[in-house]
Amino acid sequence: MIRDLTALPTHLRKRLAQALDSGRFIAPYSPVSLQSVLGRADEKILGALRELADMGIAGRAAANWLRALDAAAEPAGRPDLVWSGPEVEGVPARDTRRVYEELFISARRSLWAVSYAYFDGPRVFDLLAKRMEVIPELRVTLLLNIDRGRHDTSSPGDVVRRFADRFWKRDWPGRVRPAVFYDPRSVDPDAPGILHAKAVVADDKRVFVTSANFTAAALDHNIELGLLVRDRPLALSVVKHLQGLIDHKLLRPLPME
């Protein structure tokens, strides 16, 4: 049964370790107390914790044992499954909105965020904008798609200027601005192409690749799937590719005014 603890997502093991360490969660463990810690009463997890307790591993010792699992798993970069939509009982996974928010509020040095679509910019970017004000040295780069619209016959320059005006005046909620780039093919009717990737890279060490856009539907209702990986070489390779697109002018900066 102890193996069931290794199947828990990293964030749930950390939550469990904190509760054990603080004394909020003590043996004999009950379904109600586990529910208060993890949000669900999983009999397999209860059985594994009771098995540890029978071996004399409880309280802070159990917390340290759980942390040792994560320390051992960290170099392997084991991914976490991240889902949006209905939950499936017995299948541990992380929540898309919470992963986005966690990455936004924990980044300290750099954050790259790529999305095909977003709605309600002030809400979507609120945590990130506040983080930039708290951590002035945080460098944020957003890669966003600009949708021309099916019947829009405006020049590419006009489409970009309208988007920039709306983004800076209505969608970005902070005083400190990120660097924003777009794919010029999305506004060029003669060379169609779009920025369709959805990903976040935080501090060059955590990579979240997902099917979910920055929209309420994608974060809360649609069935969306992603992977969160703690792998510095992988994170750096993603950043290098994105930076290369910028350096070769395949992605262009959004006007600041």
Q: Angle 210-8-18 (CA atoms, 0-180°, nearest 5)?
A: 110
Question: Which tokens hold the place of 239?
Answer: 């950043």
Half-sphere exposure of 252 (CA within 13 A, CB side): 14
* pLDDT tens digits, one per residue of 54-80: 888 888 888 888 887 766 555 545 789
- Strand-pairing partners, residue 102, are none
pLDDT for res 226? 96
> Which residue, chain included where needed, has tokens 């679509």?
117
- Strand-pairing partners, residue 112, are 141, 201
- Kindly tell me the sign of the dihedral angle through the C-alpha atoms of 122, 127, 132, 134: positive
pLDDT for res 72? 59
Domains and CATH numbers, the chain: 3-75 (no CATH), 94-253 (3.30.870.10)
Tell me the C-alpha distance between 27 and 49, whole Å: 9
Task: Give me the long-range contacts of 175-180 (CB less than 8 A, separation at least 24).
Answer: 175/133, 176/129, 176/132, 176/133, 176/136, 177/256, 178/128, 178/132, 178/140, 178/141, 178/142, 179/139, 179/140, 179/141, 179/142, 179/253, 180/141, 180/142, 180/143, 180/144, 180/253, 180/254
pLDDT for res 223? 95
* pLDDT tens digits, one per residue of 73-127: 555 457 899 999 988 877 777 899 999 999 999 999 999 999 999 999 999 999 9
Between 186 and 41, whose confidence is greater?
Answer: 186
**Is the whole-model pTM more than 0.85?**
no
Mean of pLDDT over the chain: 90
Tell me the C-alpha distance between 94 and 185, whole Å: 34
Tell me the C-alpha distance between 101 and 20, whole Å: 25
pLDDT for res 71? 65
pLDDT for res 24? 87
- Kindly tell me the sign of the dihedral angle through the C-alpha atoms of 222, 148, 118, 201: positive
